[in-house]
Amino acid sequence: PRQPAKTLWYDRPRYVYLEFCVEDSRDVKVVIEDQRLVFSCKNADGLEFYNEINLYARVNSKDSREKRSNRSITCFMRKWKEKVAWPRITKENIKPAWLSVDFDNWRDWEGDEEVERAMVEQYAEV
């Protein structure tokens, strides 16, 4: 049986970030489309995780990536319309139980573009 992975998200001027919290993930598959993201993987115990998100707005799937670590898989998706805040990550105005705002990374955008650029470059180096 599949279950959704606990997911955190936050918004930036140019990118939207999603973090799927699965430790020791394997068989990770991330499909980023213009209006949808599909994530699946297994953990060390063989549990299967699956999340499908119809996105609030369009993203540039060609300029979007994911990065896997021991504790999670982080996706960053380039917004089609930059500097437009997303009030939520989902197209539908409902909040699934597995989805939360990442308040540790959520902040006002004022002067945030340099920080964001550094984050994206850090991910790109891996």
Q: What is the CATH number of the domain that holds 110?
A: 2.60.40.790
The 10s digit of each residue's pLDDT in 1-47 is 899 999 999 999 999 999 999 999 999 999 999 999 999 999 999 99
**Neighbouring residues of 121: CB distance < 8 A, sequence distance ≥ 6:** none
Asked, for residue 113, whether it belongs to a domain, the answer is yes
Rounded CA separation 48/2 (Å): 5
Q: Answer yes or no: is 63 within a domain.
A: yes
Domain limits for position 48: 7-125
Give the pTM. 0.87
| d(C-alpha 24, C-alpha 33), whole Å | 25
The Cα–Cα gap between 2 and 78 comes to 28
Domain-embedded: residue 1: no
Burial profile 74-83: b = 16 or more Cβ within 10 angstroms, e = fewer: bbbbbbeeee
Q: Which residue, among 72, 58, 71, has the nearest Cα to 30 in the 3D structure? A: 72
120 occurs within a structural domain: yes
pLDDT in tens, 68-103: 999 999 999 999 999 999 999 999 999 999 999 999
Strands 73-79 and 15-21: antiparallel
Query: How many domains does one find in the chain?
Result: 1
Report if residue 89 sits inside a domain.
yes
Residue 2 domain flag? no
User: Are 31 and 55 spatial neighbours (Cβ–Cβ below 8 Å)?
Assistant: no
